[in-house]
Each structure stands twice: as C-alpha cells, then as structure tokens.
Structure 1
Amino acid sequence: MSDQMIRSDSEAKLRELHERLVRSVEALIASDDWKRALEFTAHFRSRSFNNTLLIWAQHSAAFEAGTVPDPMPTHVAGFQQWHKLGRTVRAGQHGYMIFAPRTARFASSTPLDTASWRRLDARERPRPGEVVRSGVVGTRPAYVWDVSQTDGPPIAELPRPQLLQGAAPEGLWEGIASLIDREGFSLTLAPSAASLGGANGQTDFARRHVAVREDMDESARVKTLAHELGHIRLHGPDHEALAHRGIGEVEAESVALIVAAAHGMDTRDYTVPYVAGWASAVPGSDAVAMVQQTGERVRRAAVAILDALPTEQVSAGDPPGLDRSAPVTGSPHVAASWIDAHRVIQQGRGLS
C-alpha cells in the first residue's frame, strides 16, 4: 500500500470517527442520558470523554447485534496490549475505533524560548546541545477491544467497594476534606439546609469557606462535599460558567457523580439538569461542542481528585497489569492524519 493510499485511508477513518462521535453526542443530548454517560465515564476514566462516548456507543451496538455477551464493557485495551497480557482477540470480533494521539519529536537549544522549538523529521538527529521532547501534533484512528472479545488466561479482578445503604466509602470524606484544605478553604458542618439558604452545601469564595449540611446521611454529605470541591477546582467567584444558568452546577454535580460512581456509590438520586437546556445556554454556542467540552472538563477534574485520594475505587477501564506504553492499534496500515498542534490544544489533549 502506497503512502498516499495509507494517508487517504487514515483520513477517511478519521472522518468516519468524527461523524460517529457527533452522532453519539447528538443522541446523548436528545435522550438526556448525561447521567448514564458520566457513570460510564467513571468506569473508563483513563480515556478521554470523547473516546468514552465512542466506546459506549460501539459496545452497545455490538451487544444489540449479539456479538458481545454483556451490555457494559469491563476492561478495554489494544490488540498488542491484550497480547502482552497473554490474551488474543477472538476471530470475527471488531474493535472499537477511537482517537489516539499522534506524536512527533521537537528540538531546541533554548528550551525556555517556546518559539525556538522545531519539529524533527522521522530520522533526523538533534544538533549538538539541543534538548529533545515529544509533543502531540494530531490524532490517528486506533482500535480497542473489550475483554469479552478476547480469549486467554483470566485477568486479575480488582476489589469492588461494597457499601451499605446511606453509607460513605471509608476515608472518602476525610480525603476530600483534605483536598479542600489544600486549596486553602476551611470546612464546617451546618445544622440544616435553612442555615445554607435551602442548599445542601455552599462554597464561599470570598471567605474561602465550605459548609455542608450535617442533617443528611453519610453518602449525601460526602457527595455534597465532592460537589463543592468540584466548584473549587473548576470555578471561582467570576468564572464564566457561573454567568450562564446551570452550567456551573452541572459541572460541579457531574464531578461529584463521577467521584461517587468510581467509589461504587449509588448515584440514582443524583440530579443533573436536562442536557439540551444547559448545552445551549451560552449564546452562539454549539450544543455538541458544549457537551464535549463540559464532559472533558469534568472528567479531568474528577480524575485529578480520584488520583489524589487514598481510597478503594473501581477499575478505570484498563486491564490490571496493562502497560499503557504498548501501542493501541488494530491494523499495521493505520497511518496518521496531520492536525496542527494549535487545534489539538484547543480541542483538549485528552486523546487516549
């Protein structure tokens, strides 16, 4: 296959992938499945929000077609990654196409000068004294398979948190409270909603203070605390999200939902406003783009919180023992399509 044919094939796959992603987001808006999308994201949080939606949509289609046994995937990985774990993709199983980052090498003799970096050709060596770094320059189509699409020795099962009704995971309140303290905010318990103007919790950016209702069960208190930490991590007294009705609350509640779902908590009582409403709240905004941007913002905020907590959490979607440095690809002929670095940065760097 010639280089031109490889490039054309890759560009066609990228167009197909983009169209599939747009359809998935439009379906999410139309069905108001935001909450389910966040719960799914909590179980596959090592992937970008866009790739999470793509995996969800393609696995659902495979389940409806009867080619996978369960409606929910458990662990996904690339062809070579499964091979390194001793498992092989079953004949006839189609991988789920996702976006993967395309990287290149850059060199500079004055690395602190951002304008001095130059891209190296494939076989080009840096000049004497130059520093070399890798950077994301675009995307390429790649493929992952769920463990149910593979054969081989059993993979290790991570422990799943087991919680009683109304109980909070051990150490979660203390962990989130510690993160709030690191942000320079004090924390107190309020006797009732009346003392907080009818709210379950409240963040005062001027006083750098967080208050949470005391007259709730443990799970409700810790969920509220995660909500307030979401505000602290994503917002401020003058943040633009708070100027548009509901978006700030959607983001904070979405962070709290992902944190809760990643701890095996019951999220049935969590309420997030109807997607079509807040996704179109910003004048002149595109609802599909708004959903993608919000989803990635809250995923990144939730993952940063989860990574800083010493608590027992459900799997992030990668098989136990996976080396993420192994290539995520399903075909030796999947080539890259150039997208300039500025566009990649603008669209977000969560590509894997």
Structure 2
Amino acid sequence: MRVQTRDLAAREEKLEALQQKLTESVGALVTGDDWKRALEFAAKFRSRSFNNTLLIYVQHYAAFQQGRVPEPMPTYVAGFRQWMSLNRAAMKGQSGYAILAPVTARFASPNPADPDSWHRLGRGETPGFGEAVRSKLIGLKPAYVWDISQTDGEPIPEPPRPALLQGRAPDGLWDGLADQITAHGFGLRLVSHAKSIGGANGLTDYMTREVSVRMDMDDAAQVKTLAHDLLTAPTGVS
C-alpha cells in the first residue's frame, strides 16, 4: 500500500509539473511568428490534442537549441511501443517528450438513462447481465513520445502523398459553397499561393472569421478545399 501511495504521489507530481510546463509554454509564445509556427505544427498533428501538440513543439524546439535534434520542427512523433513495432528505438541520450495521456475506466449500468445507475467496473470485472458498458475519461497521466530524429533502426515507409484534384469543378458548386461560408458569418479570401497561408491549400481563421483558399490550383482542387474548410474541425487548415 505504501508503494502504491508513493507511486501515485510521484505521478501527481509529474502531472502537475507537466501542466505547469504547458502554462509556461503558452506564456512563452508571445510573438506572431512563434504562434504561427506552433499553429502550423499543430495543423499537422490533428490526432493529438492541441495541449499535447504544443508540449511536443516546445520540448522539441528546446532539444534543437541544445543540439540534440537536427531540425527545429518535429516531423513524425510516436510512443515507445509504436517505435518498437516499426523496428526503431530511441537513441542513447535522447529523452522523450512528456505529454498528457488520458486515463479511462469502464462503467456499467442496468439503466443507461439514469445517470446515478452507473458503477465503475474493476480490472477484469465483467458487467452484469443486460448491463450497458461505457468507457469514460477519469483523469490524465504523464506519457512520453519521441520524434523520428531521436530514433534509429529500419527506415520508415514513405506514406502515399495526396495529389491535388485536376480539371474543372461542376458548374455552380463553388458559388454554392461560397454562399454557405458567408452564411456562417465568414469572409472568403483568395490568395495567390500556399506560402500566404503557411503552406496549406486552405485556411480557416476562427479569430478573424475568414476562409482563405489558394488560387494556384485547378478549379476542382479549389472547390474541394472550400468544401473541406466548410466542414473542417476547429483546427481550420486543409
């Protein structure tokens, strides 16, 4: 019991330190360029929460300044087991980047509509006959990931690169999508090339409520991008 108590206290201390690092990281990103680089990186890692993406970005940039990684921006980030499954491992002297990992538990209920009827299942415990089962987030814990530049081993297969659509779009489709964009209270801005919007095909800025689409693409690609930004999640980059 004492060992478990000490382990729990150590985890809580690490979690508190990690949350403090996150707060300090946000405070340190004070210039437009800093925020722009952080947001551009976040747009590439939609599978992770913004908090974890920011933690990875800040820790990797610190590692770059210390000369431990060759580039200032992370590229391919994964956990220990995922790297092992790819026959790669962290190199000696490379510390992982701490992130916030979810802690979930299973809950069961004979009457799911009644919020008071749910009870937590222990490890290996099976629900009662006819009970519904759900997993719920109950907390966070520290976990660690490494950028590919911190690992060595077998080469990573190159993922297929998406290709821009070519040709003309159906008549009236652009106008219909643009009308929906403006109906949602967003302005529509056409930019000359991807560099204007951080290398993306399109960008939804929720601060200025403006959708930007690059025009150096065929009609079909422009319409596809506009449709994506109409339906996109709050990351807002296509």
TM-score range, shorter chain: 0.7 to 0.9
Match of 2:17 in 1: 16
Contact 1:104 1:135 in 2 (8 A): yes
Alignment of 1:251-290 (within 5 A): 252-253=209-210
| The 10-residue stretch of structure 1 (31-40 or 73-82) with the greater mean CA deviation from structure 2 | 31-40
Match of 2:109 in 1: 108
SS of the residue aligned with 1:91? coil
Cα 1:113/1:149, change in 2 over 3 Å: same
Q: CA offsets per residue over residues 22-41 of structure 1, 9 Å max, x none?
A: 0110012x223222211111
Of 165, 172, 176, the residue aligned with 1:170 is: 165
Q: Distance in 1 between matches of 2:146 and 2:187?
A: 44
Match of 1:186 in 2: 176
Aligned residue pair count: 213
Which amino acid counterpart does residue 31 of structure 1 have in structure 2? T
Match of 1:77 in 2: 78
Q: What displacement does 1:45 show?
A: 2.0
Q: Distance in 2 between matches of 1:158 and 1:50?
A: 26
Query: Does residue 140 of structure 2 align to residue 145 of structure 1?
Result: no
Q: What displacement does 1:157 show?
A: 2.0
Which amino acid counterpart does residue 183 of structure 2 have in structure 1? D
Q: Distance in 1 between matches of 2:162 and 2:129?
A: 53
Match of 2:235 in 1: 302
Q: Distance in 1 between matches of 2:54 and 2:67?
A: 20
Cα 1:109/1:204, change in 2 over 3 Å: same
Match of 2:92 in 1: 91
TM-score, normalised to structure 1, is 0.52
Q: What displacement does 1:300 show?
A: 4.1
Q: Distance in 1 between matches of 2:61 and 2:189?
A: 39
Alignment of 1:24-63 (within 5 A): 24-28=25-29, 30-32=30-32, 33-63=34-64
SS of the residue aligned with 1:2? helix
Q: Distance in 2 between matches of 1:64 and 1:226?
A: 30
Contact 1:212 1:225 in 2 (8 A): no
Identical counterparts, % of pairs:
47
Match of 2:217 in 1: none
Contact 1:104 1:137 in 2 (8 A): yes
Q: Distance in 1 between matches of 2:189 and 2:3?
A: 65
Q: CA offsets per residue over residues 145-191 of structure 1, 9 Å max, x none?
A: 011111111001235568xxxxxx437x96xx97xx9xxx93458xx
Cα 1:93/1:128, change in 2 over 3 Å: same
Match of 1:129 in 2: 130
TM-score, normalised to structure 2, is 0.74
Contact 1:212 1:224 in 2 (8 A): no
Aligned Cα root-mean-square deviation (Å): 3.7
Match of 1:289 in 2: none
Cα 1:9/1:188, change in 2 over 3 Å: closer
Q: CA offsets per residue over residues 182-205 of structure 1, 9 Å max, x none?
A: xxx93458xxxxxxxxxxx97135
Contact 1:89 1:151 in 2 (8 A): yes
Match of 2:228 in 1: none
Q: What displacement does 1:143 show?
A: 0.2
Q: Distance in 1 between matches of 2:189 and 2:87?
A: 50
Q: Distance in 2 between matches of 1:9 and 1:79?
A: 21
Give 5+ residue unaligned stretches, structure 2: 215-231
Greater strand share, 1 or 2?
2
Q: What displacement does 1:142 show?
A: 0.2
Q: Distance in 2 between matches of 1:22 and 1:213?
A: 34
Give 5+ residue unaligned stretches, structure 1: 163-168, 190-200, 232-246, 261-298, 307-352
